């Protein structure tokens, strides 16, 4: 979480990660941290010590302040006779700095069982400012049909279960490499707790009070395993994860929470599971008060957008914002967990951009396991409706996507979307005159020997969208070099 004057350092002590308390039950362990301006820790050394506690899974969150802006740093941890590998981080540019570029890797949806995290190996090797991860960092669920490697145990419902699941993911060497190489900015989606949950509503019809106990366990384990500020520690089943970041005068990023305050799904039929949430639109969808972010977060975002003076305004939120509804032989079909299931909330968000004439807004999402590059119009898929923003949505790191048949249907219904379903990370760069994106593609199923190819590149100039399919990424206009 890079700020202009601070960075967050994270680690967890766990000699036996899948055992209770990570193999360190009931004891406090001193951990020394070091932050320096060079890998040899000879310049600008800052140090400190903390005591880890079993009730927090021996996790360490250090917010190191008083740092110079726009600078790289190196860090490590030491306890007893153990020394961690060296990590690299950076501070953001000063709020008034004239910054030439911002380079982001956008990623989401990394199902451990469905493939190797080769995308993170590629991210670790890139020249980036930070990684923006927009949800589904872990998966609570399992599907034996697509299992290439196994989770450590059954579906987690308790604190110990979620801790063990996070430990499984953090033991992946490619994911650890990506964390060590770059600072991360994060938000969550549903699988960090349970697929398609909404506020206190379980998708498995668990009573709300029981589900909130599960959510509290999931949020605590999430905090214990993420490089987030210690000020974000959860209070029971509540945890503020939405936030705002500034990158000089070039860009402003809002990370948004689309789960904790979400209205219940509308129009659902009987039963549970995804099939019960693919429905024909009904009157309940149009209820004005229904929200994805909750009204307080909506107002916070609208006020921030209207007041922003940065060149680019970036929305880091979990899923595809443009419409993904399809016309079928039995009529229009909508997935109620998508933004299509909350049309008034989407309309309010787009009005918050259009009415103050906020320019150069780009939504950065994930969740749908396909790449989407789209124009965001006040009336979705209406060519006569004004374009108010743009969207880059990344596919998954490893989670299986839609069938080619369904992808073909979606391309017909939504020809302005550039959509495809391989596993990938998305690389984005913003400069003075254009924002660019490029896709690093890995075929599914992802094996540890998979190699990356660049499949698609595009540029969003200030005031216009220009998709471009090429075999490599190039710079446009006065924007800084993109990645690839």
| 459 located within any domain | yes
Dist CA 140 CA 154 (whole Å): 8
CB 184 within 8 Å of CB 130: yes
Dist CA 255 CA 134 (whole Å): 8
Query: For residue 435, what pLDDT is reported?
Result: 77
Tokens 């073909």 map to which residue?
A: 408
Is there a single domain that holds both residue 85 and residue 136?
A: no
First to last CA, the chain: 24
Is there a single domain that holds both residue 291 and residue 385?
A: yes
CB 301 within 8 Å of CB 285: no
Is there a single domain that holds both residue 51 and residue 191?
A: no
Dist CA 341 CA 319 (whole Å): 12
Dist CA 234 CA 179 (whole Å): 22
Task: Please identify, among 91, 123, 150, the residue that sits at the C-terminal boundary of a domain.
Answer: 91
| 479 located within any domain | no
Tokens of 454: 């660049």
Dist CA 380 CA 385 (whole Å): 8
**Residue ranges for the chain with pLDDT beneath 50:** 465-484
Is there a single domain that holds both residue 381 and residue 270?
A: yes
Is there a single domain that holds both residue 102 and residue 81?
A: no
Total tally of structural domains belonging to the chain: 2
CB 392 within 8 Å of CB 362: yes
Is there a single domain that holds both residue 85 and residue 183?
A: no
Is there a single domain that holds both residue 266 and residue 319?
A: yes
| 480 located within any domain | no
Please name which of 245, 313, 180, 225 lies closest in space to residue 2, comparing C-alpha atoms: 245
Is there a single domain that holds both residue 66 and residue 149?
A: no
State the CATH number of the domain containing residue 418: 3.60.21.70
Tell me the helices (H) and strands (E) count for the chain, helix number first. 7, 23
CB 357 within 8 Å of CB 98: no
Please name which of 274, 281, 392, 288 lies closest in space to residue 341, comparing C-alpha atoms: 281
Is there a single domain that holds both residue 82 and residue 104?
A: no
State the CATH number of the domain containing residue 46: 2.60.40.380
DSSP 219: H
Is there a single domain that holds both residue 41 and residue 127?
A: no
Burial status of residue 150 (CB atoms within 10 A of its CB: 0-12, 13-18, 19 or more) = exposed
174-212 pLDDT, tens per residue? 999 999 999 999 999 999 999 999 999 999 989 999 999
Is there a single domain that holds both residue 74 and residue 169?
A: no
| 484 located within any domain | no
Q: What is the pTM of this model?
A: 0.91
Task: Please identify, among 35, 66, 91, the residue that sits at the C-terminal boundary of a domain.
Answer: 91
| 35 located within any domain | yes
Distance of CA 54 to the CA centre of its chain: 28
Query: For residue 469, what pLDDT is reported?
Result: 37
CB atoms closer than 10 angstroms to residue 376? 24
Phi/psi of residue 473, each to 5°? -100, 140
CB 370 within 8 Å of CB 420: yes
445 preceded by a cis bond (ω within 30 of 0): yes
Tokens of 232: 């974000």
Task: Please identify, among 64, 91, 118, the residue that sits at the C-terminal boundary of a domain.
Answer: 91
Enclosing H/E stretch for 362: strand 361-365
Is there a single domain that holds both residue 125 and residue 60?
A: no
Please name which of 251, 230, 156, 232 lies closest in space to residue 187, comparing C-alpha atoms: 232
Query: For residue 351, what pLDDT is reported?
Result: 98
Enclosing H/E stretch for 49: strand 46-52
Dist CA 310 CA 435 (whole Å): 13
| 481 located within any domain | no
Strands (E), 53-125: 59-64, 72-79, 82-83, 87-90, 102-107
Domain residues for 450? 97-468
Query: For residue 280, what pLDDT is reported?
Result: 86
| 448 located within any domain | yes
| 482 located within any domain | no
């Amino acid at each position: 979480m890079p700020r202009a004057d601070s960075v967050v350092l994270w680690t967890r002590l766990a000699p036996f990660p899948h055992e209770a308390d990570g193999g360190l039950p009931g004891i406090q362990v001193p951990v020394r941290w070091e932050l320096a301006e060079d890998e040899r820790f000879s310049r600008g050394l800052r140090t400190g010590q903390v005591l880890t506690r079993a009730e927090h899974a021996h996790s360490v969150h250090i917010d190191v302040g008083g740092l110079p802006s726009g600078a790289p740093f190196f860090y490590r941890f030491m306890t007893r006779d153990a020394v961690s590998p060296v990590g690299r981080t950076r501070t953001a540019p000063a709020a008034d700095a004239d910054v030439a570029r911002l380079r982001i890797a956008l990623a989401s949806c990394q199902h451990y069982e469905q493939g190797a995290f080769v995308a993170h190996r590629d991210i670790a090797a890139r020249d980036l400012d930070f990684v923006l991860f927009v949800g589904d960092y872990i998966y609570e669920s399992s599907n034996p049909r697509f299992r290439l490697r196994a989770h450590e145990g059954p579906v987690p419902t308790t604190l110990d279960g979620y801790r063990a699941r996070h430990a499984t993911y953090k033991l992946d060497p490619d994911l650890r490499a990506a964390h060590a190489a770059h600072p991360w900015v994060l938000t969550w989606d549903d699988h960090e707790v349970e697929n398609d949950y909404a506020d206190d509503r379980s998708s498995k019809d668990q009573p709300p009070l029981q589900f909130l106990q599960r959510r509290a366990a999931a949020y605590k384990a999430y905090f214990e395993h993420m490089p987030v500020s210690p000020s974000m520690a959860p209070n029971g089943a509540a945890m503020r994860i939405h936030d705002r970041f500034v990158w000089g005068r070039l860009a402003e990023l809002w990370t948004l929470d689309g789960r904790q305050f979400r209205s219940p799904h509308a129009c659902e039929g009987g039963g549970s599971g995804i099939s019960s949430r693919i429905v024909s639109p009904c009157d309940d969808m149009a209820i004005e008060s229904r929200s994805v972010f909750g009204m307080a977060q909506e107002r916070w975002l609208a006020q921030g957008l209207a007041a922003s003076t940065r060149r680019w305004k970036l929305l880091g939120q979990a899923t595809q914002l443009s419409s993904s509804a399809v016309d079928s032989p039995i009529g229009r079909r909508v997935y109620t967990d998508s933004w299509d299931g909350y049309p008034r909330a989407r309309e309010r968000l787009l009005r918050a951009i259009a009415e103050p004439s906020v320019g150069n807004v780009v939504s950065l999402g994930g969740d749908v396991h396909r790449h989407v590059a789209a124009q965001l119009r006040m009336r979705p898929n209406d060519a006569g409706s004004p374009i108010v923003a743009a969207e880059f949505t990344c596919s998954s790191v490893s989670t299986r996507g839609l069938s080619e048949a369904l992808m073909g249907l979606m391309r017909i219904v939504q020809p302005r979307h550039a959509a495809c379903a391989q596993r990938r990370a998305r690389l984005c760069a913003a400069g003075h005159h254009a924002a660019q994106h490029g896709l690093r593609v890995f075929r599914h199923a992802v094996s540890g020997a998979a190699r990356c190819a660049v499949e698609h590149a595009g540029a969003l100039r200030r005031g216009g969208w220009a998709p471009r399919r090429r075999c490599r990424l190039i710079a446009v206009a006065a924007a800084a070099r993109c990645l690839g």
